[in-house]
Amino acid sequence: MPDQRVVLITGTSSGVGQATARLLSQTQYKVFGTSRNPASAEIILDVEMLSLDVRKDDSVLACVETVCSRGGRLDVLINNAGHELAGALEELSLEEARAQFETNFFGVVRMVNAVLPLMRQQKRGHIINVGSLSGLSAIPFLGIYSASKFALEGYTEALRHEVKPFNIHVSLTEAGFLKTSMMNNRQVGVNRIGVYDPWRQRSLNAIRAYEEKGPGPELVAETLLRIISSNTPRLRYPIGQQAKSVARLRRFLPAGMYEQGVRRTFSLDRAE
């Protein structure tokens, strides 16, 4: 199809990225997926898998060049690659925090900087950053992860204003807790401070329970398809009832009442 739109999705070896690649490949899009180890990734029909490590400049540039060479252009970039780091903030080393930001935030910056020259030349394009509810309301004991998603919120909003004159759209998804493979791949800081043990465990147990009851990655994939199909895409897209409710509560509840709700949500004030 000569008018087939070309989409590049980072982090498609599992979860949201994989579900999105599968869904978009079944429609009118030419999809390129990425993984640090594409040879071991699940094969998705009509999705071309490329090697990509968003933490490395040369890997990012090589990936984008390959997409442009094989696809002829790049219409949509979906920045999905990421991981979660858990632990009390005091427990996490600067090296661990930097590694979290290197993927979740600076990886997005690298990808955007690599595709913008092409999109400006084309005078069109769409960049979608996969954010999180934790970028609106910080999650205790996922503090560095939340911080990386808060940073993504500000970056995405500023980027949207800056590239609008070039007919480049910028959007952000904000999903609540999801039942995906990420829940089984969560990293926990190496250093453990014993006094945090009860609260850390309660919070992580609560997070796991919400994830077990949450929707699958297909819900995000369907939203992403709707976003890139829109002629007038919005900046923010809360996904799931939980994300929509939290956004409203954060906006309208008194700060003290909202804070109490967060502590109750993660069982932080439960009696021993």
| Domain range 5-243, its CATH number among 3.40.630.10, 3.40.50.720, 3.20.20.70, 3.90.1150.10 | 3.40.50.720
pLDDT class of 41 with cuts at 50, 70, 90? confident
Residue 100 CA to residue 106 CA, distance in Å, equals 9
Radius of gyration for the alpha carbons in the chain, expressed in angstroms and rounded? 19
* pLDDT per residue as tens digits for the range 96-118: 999 999 999 999 999 999 999 99
Exactly one of 145, 155, 210, 237 is catalytic; name it: 145
Residue 262 CA to residue 124 CA, distance in Å, equals 41
**237 catalytic per annotation:** no
* pLDDT per residue as tens digits for the range 13-23: 999 999 999 99
Amino acid letter at 192? R
* pLDDT per residue as tens digits for the range 184-223: 888 999 999 999 999 999 999 999 999 999 999 999 999 9
3 has a pLDDT exceeding 90: no
Amino acid letter at 1? M
> Domain residue spans in the chain?
5-243
Mean pLDDT estimate for the chain: 94
